[in-house]
Structure 1
């Protein structure tokens, strides 16, 4: 029985996550949350906390999903550079498939430094994603497949920032081909 309750908790949390992801923090009301989650107001508060606490739980859920995607993307490749290239492509493809900006990036633009707990979480999450890219960069450098002499930390930040920017370009004109060309250019500029 506890497994079903736990599953239902996560399932409803994902519903709230998707609502915040679609509408943003400020545009999402408690009424919207209650409707989407299919719970009464007191159940939401008792199980998930207030709106900000629920939002943080949703961000954590989303961040865990993205970190798993990043880690899994390049698992079946023959070299670290191929894993890096595949991960970059996978991140961009998934964002375009979702047809909405990364929830974390959306939150940065919406809340900025307005909510200290949210800002702290976002910085921590960026560190997690950067570490995934940093590890791939270090491995590719050791293989001799990465030509850049730049420090791995800087390259990891640059790659992560670039991935976030590609969807912005896609929103501007809707041309996936242009985004693919820019992704290819980024990857080629790193290749030894």
Structure 2
């Protein structure tokens, strides 16, 4: 008698997320997904749904990971300025890392406007990042680690839009030195 293999849905979502991250939504086939998840297509439909539902779950998984990361950063014993500098450097490394970059930005550019459910998830993720940056920048200003006349809100908006621009620049030019220079400039101008 054949033994049923227990299906680990969280692991399957992680594997599918990696495929979408590498190939994008449009470049990923159902076969790519089922091979990565090590299930057949009927099992996919029976447990998770279609490709679009799976993509939504993968983006949710990704944004949940990011949310947990931001929470951990805010609860760190480091100073707000040190957390902010580390965050900017980590964000830069995400852009440069393994050719995958940020799944949220990639998704926003690829299907954010055509899929309302994914767009809503991505907007919520962007709002969490914005709130994180506003909180952190506000704390750094309060303890005099950042001396600025600008509001935390405008600096958070500036960073998020700059970061998206760094991502686009890296896609087009693949110039790591340029991205690192822009991040260093941001740190010098805004944080120090």
Pairwise TM-score range, normalised by the shorter structure: 0.7 to 0.9
Q: 1:113 to 1:174 in 2, by over 3 A?
A: closer
Greater shift after overlay, 103-112 or 134-143? 103-112
Residue 138 (structure 1) aligns with: 138
Q: Compute the TM-score of the two structures, normalised by the length of structure 2.
A: 0.87
Task: Name the count of aligned residue pairs.
Answer: 188
Q: Distance in 1 between matches of 2:154 and 2:170?
A: 25
Deviation of 1:117 after TM superposition, in Å, equals: 0.9
CA-atom RMSD, angstroms? Answer: 2.2
More divergent stretch after superposition (107-116 vs 120-129)? 107-116
Q: In 1, Cα distance between the equivalents of 2:126 and 2:24?
A: 19
Distance between the aligned counterparts of 1:105 and 1:11, measured in 2? 23
The match for 1:98 is: 98
* 1:74-128 deviation line (CA, Å, top 9, x unaligned): 7656421121111111121133123223111111111131111111111111001
Deviation at 1:52, TM superposition (A): 1.2
TM-score normalised to the size of structure 1? Answer: 0.87
Of 97-106 and 137-146, deviating more is 97-106
**Could you list the runs of 5+ residues in structure 1 that have no partner in the other structure?**
none
Contact 1:73/1:86 (<8 A) preserved:
no
Q: 1:164 to 1:73 in 2, by over 3 A?
A: farther
Residue 150 of structure 1 and its aligned partner are, at CA, apart by 2.1
